Chains A and B, each alone.
Chain A
Amino acid sequence: MSEIGDAAMEALTRSFLLGTARHPAPVAAWQGLVTSGSPPSELTALALLGQRLRYRRHGPPPDAVASAPIEDARKIVPEAARALMRQLVDFRNGDPSDIAALALADACHRRRLRPHPFDLPRLRTFTKRHGELLGSYASAWAARGEEGEKTNSRYFDVDTLDESNWTAARPAARVAFIAAMRAREPERARILVEASFASDPAPTRARLLDALVRGISPADVPFLEALAKDRAPSVRERAERLLKYIPGTASTDGRLRDLVDRTKTSAGGLLRRRKKLSLELPATLQEAPAALADDRARHWAAEQYVGIGLDAIAAAFALLIEEMVAAAADDVQLLALFARQASIEGRLDVLAAIVREHAADAWIDAIGPVDAAGGMAQWQDDAALEAWCHAALAPELWPALPSAPHLDGLYTFLRRPLPPAQGRELLRSRAFAAMASADPLPAMVGQLCVAVAALTPAPLRSELRATLAALASEEPLRAVLLLDCLALLDPSTP
């Protein structure tokens, strides 16, 4: 039998594709493959050609410009944690957008862990959302196929950034670097931000501006005012917000006058006459539905007058700060404003007084708006955050457990579990006990338990786990899974 060359194969294939009616099949060339004397039929030639194609010679893969492998010095998460992570945050069954996902990503970031590469396809929504907390490899995976992928693949993951390399790091690392420098050398930090601003994308510009909140001063005014013409609305909005925080500007003075005009001063008390302050709300807020009115009014007051220093407000009312807080004891809007301002200024004694003497839930106002990028606490050091928690959180005074969105907000602000003392207080508080013993369990108990699990420090996880496991409901199952997973990723919170 003879061998069939490529030319004969090609001619036959061409004939079959174009149709043997108009291009008769050149079957004579295949005669050597059949034992009969006559040339094979078209069908026999088809069978032979098909078999010939089956044994096509396999060659080497095509050459390609090999992209540099992405280095990631992080360790891969423990094997036992992989299945739990998939269960919690995979794109089919899990929820990659809730606080559990954020807590997992934070734990990986804290412990310098990364997801197993084989899990990335199933965790793709999770890595897309939290990629920069999960190491360079996951970050690059999340950025695949996106515009600017080539730029992202330059991201690296180092422990120490300096002024020469900080612009090439991932956004979260850059923000942390600027925030840390801002605490030491505010002027220098702003100059670095100004220099890199032109080449940064809008989300990064907005986040870098957030990092300037610490140590803000009149020296920042020209830079921030220039951003009024930035092409990104998010950047313009943040610059405007930062300008509010700078005392002595025209904006601050005008808002202080407005605050004084809106605040009624009266005298109260029988034996000892003392001043009482109450804020008059705009008519639009007074008409809000009762269920929302309180929250909206507190939010409005804190947002409207934030940035005016406590000293300036107290001076405008001719009171000491302690007297001003006491005078506003019956006005939740003013207390919300004072709590926010005390938190920003680091006047933790004032914050603690508000929380313990007047409004146990003032921590909600103190946090302020937090978005996915986290609250300002993410670039504060552990000691500062611990002090803030000590001042702002008094779970033993809470009449009921805060709502799930508020606890989510607290975790998003802290980006780590509570300090042990506050964690213990929370788990042993009347509010938590009431939730756990309620029959039926409150609405959104699953989400509530997830938030509590994210906030619970490592030494108390087993205690919480036992409590949740004893609940007669499957809803806390996700919180139990989160506790199990965190126990493997982050066995002891630093």
Chain B
Amino acid sequence: MTIAITQIENLAPDQASLAAAAKLKKPALWPLLARDDAGLIWGECQGSGSSPYRVMCSEADLGYKCTCPSRKFPCKHTLALMWMQADGKLPFRVEAPPDWVGDWLARRRPGTAPSRKDNAGAPAAGASAAAAVRAEAADEAAPEDPKAAARAAAARERNKAEREAAILGGLDELDTWIADALQGGLASFMPAADERCRKIVQRLVDAKAPGLAGLVERLPGDVLSLPEPARPGGLIERLSALHLISCAYRKQERLPAPIKADIRQVVGWTVTRDALLADREALRVKDRWMVVSAISEVQADKLRRLETWLSRLGDGDAPRFAVLIDFVPVSAGKATNAYRAGDIIEAELAYFQSPAPLRAIIAQQDGAATTGGRWPRPADDVPRAIARLNELMAARPWSGNAPFAASSARVVEAQGSLWLADAARTIGLPVRTDEDDTVLPLAGVDDIDVFGRWDGHLLCVDLCETPLGRWTAS
């Protein structure tokens, strides 16, 4: 397992960090450089302080940590460590990870870290990190006082009941707010949308429904990003979805389990990774996956949302797509997605419950990401892919982005906008464009296999296989 220089370049926050890292590639500055057999590297770099900085990195997913106070992520020490490993010129001692590396591993997202080999009482070599986490959780739970546990459980139930009541109150307020908007007229809603949404967002946050609050907060921006003629329809659709969520939440006990679980997540109940990994009912799919889109977006709540869309390369009936969603604080500096479009990973994914499973986490990854190979041609042409899109939307009537994959498509330019159409131009979807005209070179290229995300109005094209080679939006 080795890190490629290009991966390091992509990961670097700026050129200055790379230049600074280059200056640290001297053995004299590194009293310790080591690795294990499972793709973990670490080292100690002598900085300006009395004690060296401790730097650690997982080759599998390029996760990293450094104890330096830099506000750039990754810092120059991390980049230098990766770079030295990629160069292969300096020797890395092979040994068991020290405690400080082990601590970091234990705190990391389970599943993506390489298997950990500890000395005693730890899972055997080769056991998945997920299993390790479950074992740790069980160990921690065992010595608890039964009375204290009962009190904690009762408190949890009480909090849950209070939250349920608060959410129901928030939903009532949301419905009233929507009804008021209808009464006043949606034509006059948009000019003051920010102000009007802010108030109900605050109420929904107070009602402990952060998911719904986020949907309302994004509403003005989402609608304004549409072409002007589509905005009234876009606003109606979004308000309609909010009311639908509100209704579904109130009637959740009568809904099938996947829909209930989905609607609770949409409203704001979270399922922790540990809980999902421990859930034996959760759908798990082990296969080779290609990254078809890697998105980094800053949200209004100062969190950077990292979305990684995966396309399953194997055959079978399991879901063809998955999306991994991570959040990092914007204050952490420029954070890039660990994966790039075209990367291939071999992994077992655990899906969150949903009538149309899409969001997932990596339960177990085997080896580092590789590149190469063509994205397999989708089975559906454009008309069939649109029909499949409708099925997906029917399964999750409140869904936002839905994956779209079609073969033998072409991008056509018509009346100043771009469309993805079938070869005969019998049907098409409008394509989202940007000021860089990134999609424009696809116009006129025949026989495109395309992956994109349909947001209900526009198709955001992410990856295409074309006779001219692969095209990616990033």
Contact = CB atoms under 8 A, between A and B. Distances in A.
Contacts of A49: 236, 240
Contacts of A46: 178, 182, 236, 239-240, 243
B22 A69 contact: no
B295 to A, nearest CB: 18
A43 B239 CA distance: 9
Given A64-B415, A79-B469, A50 B438 contact: no
Given A18-B187, A118-B471, 6 more contacts: A20-B183, A42-B179, A58-B386, A58-B427, A60-B427, A121-B440
Interface stretch (B61-69, B136-144, B271-279, B418-426): B418-426
A254 interface: no
A120 B456 contact: no
B430 to A, nearest CB: 8
Given A19-B184, A25-B182, A60 B425 contact: yes
A382 B469 CA distance: 36
A43 B175 contact: yes
B332 interface: no
A44 B248 CA distance: 12
Interface of B: 6, 15, 18-19, 22, 175, 178-179, 182-188, 232-233, 236-241, 243-244, 247, 386, 390, 393, 397, 412-415, 419, 421, 425-430, 436-438, 440-442, 444-445, 456, 468-469, 471
A93 B15 contact: yes
B457 to A, nearest CB: 9
A25 B241 CA distance: 19
A121 B437 contact: yes
Given A16-B186, A54-B393, A118-B471, A59 B427 contact: yes
A61 B428 contact: yes
A83 B236 CA distance: 44
Nearest to A51: B397
Given A16-B185, A19-B184, A53-B236, A61 B244 contact: no
A124 B415 CA distance: 23
Contacts of B441: 117-118, 120-121
Contact of A43 (B178, B238, B421, B469): B178
A13 B236 contact: yes
Interface string A33-60: 0000000001110111111011100111
A63 interface: yes
A64 B413 contact: yes
A93 B9 CA distance: 12
Q: Which of B186, B393, B421, B429 has the most CB of A within 10 A?
A: B186
29 contacts: A18-B185, A19-B183, A21-B183, A25-B182, A43-B243, A46-B178, A46-B236, A46-B240, A49-B236, A50-B238, A50-B243, A53-B233, A53-B240, A58-B386, A58-B428, A59-B428, A61-B428, A62-B419, A63-B414, A83-B6, A117-B441, A117-B445, A118-B441, A118-B469, A118-B471, A121-B437, A121-B438, A122-B436, A124-B436
A163 interface: no
Interface in A80-112: 83, 93
Contacts of A55: 390, 393
Q: Which of B438, B441, B444 has the most CB of A within 10 A?
A: B441
- A-B pairs with lowest CB-CB distance, top 5: A50-B240, A19-B185, A61-B419, A64-B414, A61-B428
A116 interface: yes
Q: Which of A25, A54, A76 has the most CB of B within 10 A?
A: A54
Interface size of A as a range: 35 or more
Q: Which of A13, A51, A76 has the most CB of B within 10 A?
A: A51
B185 to A, nearest CB: 3
Interface string A339-380: 000000000000000000000000000000000000000000
A270 interface: no
Interface in A7-37: 13, 16-22, 25
Nearest to B428: A61
Nearest to A120: B441
Contact of B456 (A54, A64, A93): A54
Contacts of B386: 58
Contacts of B425: 60-61
Given A58-B386, A76-B468, A50 B239 contact: yes
A162 interface: no
A60 B471 contact: no
Interface in A98-152: 116-118, 120-122, 124, 144
Contacts of A124: 436
Contact of B247 (A47, A58, A62, A93): A47
A193 B386 CA distance: 58
Given A53-B236, A118-B468, A121-B437, A47 B244 contact: yes
Contact of A16 (B19, B182, B393, B471): B182
Contact of B236 (A16, A22, A69, A121): A16
A474 interface: yes
A17 B421 CA distance: 32
A59 B414 CA distance: 13
Contacts of A16: 182, 185-186, 236
A286 B238 CA distance: 76
A20 B237 contact: no
Given A53-B233, A121-B441, A61 B421 contact: yes
A50 B241 contact: yes
B233 to A, nearest CB: 5
Nearest to A52: B240
A47 B239 CA distance: 8
